[in-house]
A = this chain, B = another copy of it.
Amino acid sequence: MDKRPIGIFDSGLGGLTVLKAIKKIMPNEDIIYFGDSKRTPYGSKSKETIINYSIQDVKFLLSKNVKAIIIACNTVSSNAIKQLKEKTDIPIIEVIKPGAYISTTITKKKKIGVIATKATINSKAYEYAINKIDKDITVYSKSCPLLVPLVEEGKSWWNNTITKEIIKYYLESLVNEEIDTLVLGCTHYPLLQDAINEVVENKITLINSAGEVAKEALTVLKNLKLLNTSGKGSLKLYTSDRISKFYPLAKDILEDNTIKVDKINIEEY
């Protein structure tokens, strides 16, 4: 057993969907979450910038003496995992492989759609991960750069008419290809799950990898004997920009009014 906290980070709020899943299956773990709201979105930035930013994010979490790090961001997972693993010996868990794996077990038509940020789509990380498991599956990808800003706008936007029209626009080509499975390849997108389900009339299975990532993290911690089974399960949130911007949305996503948020200067790390 290891009582040190788990570190989780994302470019902003999306990673809270992963945090929520983690807390559910590992209620005794202390968790440190960092959301880089100051520099969000990562998904439209260059690979080099994504690497530099996420190295700082990892250094911040390491300064908090974490025992493992979960990259709760597809853009970072698909663009910087190698560079981050070089920075530390503690386990680093990423979000691409768990989602890719579960999608291959669900598709019947062997046609999987992936929606994600530009940087994730450009990396082809999902295509590689899916075709490594089953080379007969065709992956149809679509970058949806407006969806992260939409989610960051707040709850009233997560399922309104405009959002559904934007989703319809983005999904049109994938629906025409008759995919039966759609990977939500960005941790912000599960917050749009109801809107997406309405648009595809529940005819396509959505893969929200948050639950899969949590299971993967549990397995890793168990195997390395790092699991904390007797802690109180504390949570500490950090953001790089205004607390007044981060807090209301974090509260809505976590459905918890008691959360505590602090601000840090990420560029110091």
Q: What residues of chain A have their CB less than 8 Å away from a CB belonging to chain B?
A: 38-39, 44-46, 49, 145-146, 149-150, 152-153, 161-162, 165-166, 169, 241-242, 245, 267
Residues of B close to A165: CB separation below 8 A: 161-162, 165
Would you list 24 pairs from A and B whose C-beta atoms are within 8 A, ordered by A residue? A38-B46, A38-B49, A39-B39, A44-B245, A45-B241, A45-B242, A46-B241, A46-B242, A46-B245, A49-B241, A145-B149, A145-B153, A146-B146, A146-B149, A146-B150, A146-B153, A149-B149, A161-B165, A162-B162, A162-B165, A162-B166, A162-B169, A165-B165, A267-B267
Report the nearest B residue to A41, measured CB to CB.
Answer: B149
Cα distance, A146 to B156, chains bound together (Å): 13
Residues of B close to A267: CB separation below 8 A: 267
Chain B nearest CB from A188 CB (Å) reads: 13
4 A-B pairs closest in CB distance: A149-B149, A46-B242, A162-B165, A46-B241
Cα distance, A39 to B42, chains bound together (Å): 10
Cα distance, A146 to B147, chains bound together (Å): 10
Chain B nearest CB from A56 CB (Å) reads: 11
Report the nearest B residue to A169, measured CB to CB.
Answer: B162
Cα distance, A241 to B165, chains bound together (Å): 30
Chain B nearest CB from A174 CB (Å) reads: 17
Cα distance, A267 to B169, chains bound together (Å): 36
Cα distance, A44 to B37, chains bound together (Å): 9
Residues of B close to A44: CB separation below 8 A: 152, 245
Cα distance, A169 to B44, chains bound together (Å): 25
Residues of B close to A150: CB separation below 8 A: 146
Cα distance, A201 to B212, chains bound together (Å): 50
Residues of B close to A46: CB separation below 8 A: 38, 241-242, 245
Residues of B close to A153: CB separation below 8 A: 145-146
Residues of B close to A149: CB separation below 8 A: 145-146, 149
Cα distance, A85 to B248, chains bound together (Å): 35
Chain B nearest CB from A141 CB (Å) reads: 17
Can you add 18 more A-B contacts, CB < 8 Å, to A44-B152, A162-B166, A267-B267? A38-B45, A38-B46, A38-B49, A39-B39, A44-B245, A45-B242, A46-B242, A49-B241, A145-B149, A145-B153, A146-B146, A146-B149, A146-B150, A146-B153, A149-B149, A161-B165, A162-B169, A165-B165
